[in-house]
A = this chain, B = another copy of it.
Amino acid sequence: MANMNDVAREANVSRGTVSNYLNKNKVRPEAARRIEAAISKLHYVRNATARELRTQRSNYVVFIVPTVWTPFFAELTYDIQAALQALEYKMILCISNSNYDEEKEYVDMANEQKVAGIISISYSQLNDYVDPHMPLVSIEKEPTGHFPLVSSDNYAGGRMAAEELDQRGCKRLIFIGSKHLASDAMKARQAGFTDYCQELHCNFSIYHFASGRHIQDFRNEARDLLQQLRNGADAKNIGIATSTDEYALEIFRIAEDMKMSVPEHFQLIGFDGGKISANDQPFLSSIRQPVKQIADAAVAEFNKLAENKTSVEVPRIMLPVSFYEGKTTKRIVSNQ
């Protein structure tokens, strides 16, 4: 079925001009003529309106996200909004601060208001209180069996972090995760790291630091660890991988304060590969999540649910991560 973008392309005008035409705003007569021709040629029916009539639900999609105030979540929110907009959905932005009660409140709201559905990065058990008829796609959560899941391959990412450090000459590998918020994604990252190290007989350790609101506790623990590493016998051959970019950035800053330089004193790999804007070239080496693919897949799955075009099987989409080489790891020197 043709959508607004198709009409715009066919008429050789911008999507906004098509929208203005449909909303009876002024557009140039020549543009109006071309749009009319395109609509008639493509048998265009306004998606949003047609869908509302067909599904008896609005075009609002509730997007539940812990925050928008980190590079990863800002990018994800940006991409999900763009993907929803291309299908003429509107986004109701619900920031949960990872609070179960807030998430539940948003779900209640969604149930009451007959929204088109929910896309959620939730760390609580949605199964228990979401109406099973509500179209819902979950991002990054363990598969619940009820709702489609879209996620990065976190386990492979954990393995990749260990492997990249190993290949860069690190003789001691360290993984730093969080004491709290041990979501399945975080567990998978750690498991991948651990499995790689065990299979390849690397010398490795796992640390769980305090996190969340108690950033100062995290900083103290990280400082102690770096102190210890600096005085250790194997200093300079250490590689640190963290479960998130935020932790890696904290560790980088603490190292700077302690006059330990990265990657000379130790190499460092984050997780997420968050960019602070479209043009950003992060200095932090990281396991990058395929943000745009996650957003596109989540919205595509969501749209299938909303349009009742689903199969019996609940899809579970795992998307590959990649290593982003920033400035906190050493370059691999080719042997040739």
The residues of A with any CB-CB pair to B shorter than 8 Å are 14-17, 19-20, 23, 25, 60, 63, 67-71, 73-75, 77-78, 81-82, 85, 90-95, 99-102, 104-105, 108-109, 112, 129, 215, 246, 249-250, 253, 274, 276-281
Q: Which residues of chain B have C-beta atoms less than 8 A from A249's C-beta?
A: 276, 280
**Also in contact, A78 and B82, with CB within 8 A (given A15-B101, A16-B102, A23-B105):** no
A51 → chain B closest CB, angstroms: 15
A203 → chain B closest CB, angstroms: 31
A80 → chain B closest CB, angstroms: 10
Q: Counting chain B CB atoms within 10 Å of each CB, which of A60, A112, A279 scores highest?
A: A279
**Also in contact, A277 and B78, with CB within 8 A (given A14-B101, A15-B101, A25-B129):** no
- List 5 A–B pairs whose Cβ atoms lie within 8 Å, in order of A's numbering: A16-B101, A16-B104, A23-B112, A71-B277, A91-B93
Q: Which residues of chain B have C-beta atoms less than 8 A from A105's C-beta?
A: 16, 19-20, 23
Q: Which residues of chain B have C-beta atoms less than 8 A from A85's C-beta?
A: 95
User: Are A25 and B104 touching (Cβ within 8 A)?
Assistant: yes
**Distance between Cα atoms of A77 and B63 in the complex (Å):** 14
User: Are B279 and A16 touching (Cβ within 8 A)?
Assistant: no
User: Are B23 and A108 touching (Cβ within 8 A)?
Assistant: yes
User: Are B276 and A253 touching (Cβ within 8 A)?
Assistant: no
A91 → chain B closest CB, angstroms: 5
Query: Which residue of B is nearest A216, CB measured?
Result: B279
User: Are A68 and B74 touching (Cβ within 8 A)?
Assistant: yes
**Distance between Cα atoms of A250 and B20 in the complex (Å):** 37
User: Are A99 and B16 touching (Cβ within 8 A)?
Assistant: yes
User: Are B81 and A246 touching (Cβ within 8 A)?
Assistant: no
A296 → chain B closest CB, angstroms: 16
A126 → chain B closest CB, angstroms: 14
User: Are B68 and A68 touching (Cβ within 8 A)?
Assistant: yes
Query: Which residue of B is nearest A23, CB measured?
Result: B108
User: Are A279 and B104 touching (Cβ within 8 A)?
Assistant: no
Q: Which residues of chain B have C-beta atoms less than 8 A from A74's C-beta?
A: 68-71, 73-74
Query: Which residue of B is nearest A327, CB measured?
Result: B256
**Also in contact, A276 and B70, with CB within 8 A (given A95-B82, A129-B25, A253-B281):** yes
User: Are A277 and B70 touching (Cβ within 8 A)?
Assistant: yes
A92 → chain B closest CB, angstroms: 6
Q: Which residues of chain B have C-beta atoms less than 8 A from A70's C-beta?
A: 74, 276-277
Q: Which residues of chain B have C-beta atoms less than 8 A from A20's C-beta?
A: 101, 104-105, 108
User: Are B92 and A277 touching (Cβ within 8 A)?
Assistant: no
Q: Which residues of chain B have C-beta atoms less than 8 A from A78's C-beta?
A: 67-69, 95
Query: Which residue of B is nearest A58, CB measured?
Result: B113
**Distance between Cα atoms of A94 and B246 in the complex (Å):** 27
